[in-house]
Amino acid sequence: MPMTQQQLLQILPNARTEAGVFVSALNTAMQHYQIVGSKRAAALLAEIGHESGQLRYVREIWGPTAAQRGHEGREDLGNTVLGDGRKYCGRGLIQITGRANYTKCGEALGLNLITHPELLELPQHAAMSAAWFWKQNGLNDLADQDQFNTITRRINGGLNGLADRMALWEKARAVLA
């Protein structure tokens, strides 16, 4: 059953008008990548809620911070050309990061993200890229098993913002039950 705008706002109240912008895109993306059922949907919404500041940010806020400067030249991210760190900063609702991930995501979504990385800032692509990342990383299975910390590690590389993610997960599970 598709999620309603009201449900999305109950889970992510700070989204305000963005909930109306994203609800259809999220429903389409979730259906496309089999993120169906309350366990999967709740875990995804908690993670994108945290990663996007409750749908308010589809592009990483660039300082640049020391961590962001560290993305420059990181071969594991495919950032091999000077300027790749900033050009391929986190975008989308799960913050796709790095030339290599932009390449894979673009191929999956049929988008030229190498030339036009800003396409991940459009609601339909921001949602679809998040659902693609979710599926690519086996997160449906982890959500089915309530392995929320492992999901967070796969998305974030650690447990940054875990308290917020957990609070959003609890809220989403209650709303979608």
pTM: 0.96
- The per-residue pLDDT for 91 is 98
User: Is residue 25 in some structural domain?
Assistant: yes
Q: What CATH number did the domain enclosing 108 receive?
A: 3.30.20
- The per-residue pLDDT for 120 is 98
Residues 53 and 72 in one domain: no
- The per-residue pLDDT for 1 is 83
User: Is residue 170 in some structural domain?
Assistant: yes
User: Is residue 124 in some structural domain?
Assistant: no
132-136 mean pLDDT? 98
**Residue ending a domain, choose from 119, 140, 158:** 119
Residue 5, Cβ density class (10 Å: 0-12 exposed, 13-18 middle, ≥19 buried): middle
pLDDT at 108 over 90: yes
User: Is residue 125 in some structural domain?
Assistant: no
Separation between Cα atoms, residue 63 and residue 161, nearest integer Å: 19
Average pLDDT, the chain: 97
Write out the two tokens for 177.
Answer: 């039950």
pLDDT digits (tens, 9 = 90+) for 32-49: 999 999 999 999 999 999
Residues 71 and 53 in one domain: no
Q: What residues form DSSP beta bridges with 91? A: 59, 96
User: Is residue 112 in some structural domain?
Assistant: yes
Q: Among residues of the chain, what percentage have pLDDT more than 70? A: 100
- The per-residue pLDDT for 56 is 97
- The per-residue pLDDT for 86 is 96
Place of tokens 């994108």: 48
Q: Among residues of the chain, what percentage have pLDDT more than 90? A: 99
Question: Computed from CA positions of residues 127, 108, 60, 172, in that sequence, does the dihedral angle turn out positive or negative?
Answer: positive
In 3-state terms, what secondary structure has residue 100?
helix
User: Is residue 145 in some structural domain?
Assistant: yes
pLDDT at 97 over 90: yes
Residues 26 and 51 in one domain: yes
User: Is residue 33 in some structural domain?
Assistant: yes
Residues 16 and 33 in one domain: yes
Range of the domain at 25: 5-57+132-176
Residue pair 105/123 in contact by the 8 Å Cβ criterion: no
Number of structural domains in the chain: 2
Question: Computed from CA positions of residues 132, 134, 139, 144, in that sequence, does the dihedral angle turn out positive or negative?
Answer: negative
Residues 79 and 46 in one domain: no
Residues 53 and 9 in one domain: yes
User: Is residue 101 in some structural domain?
Assistant: yes
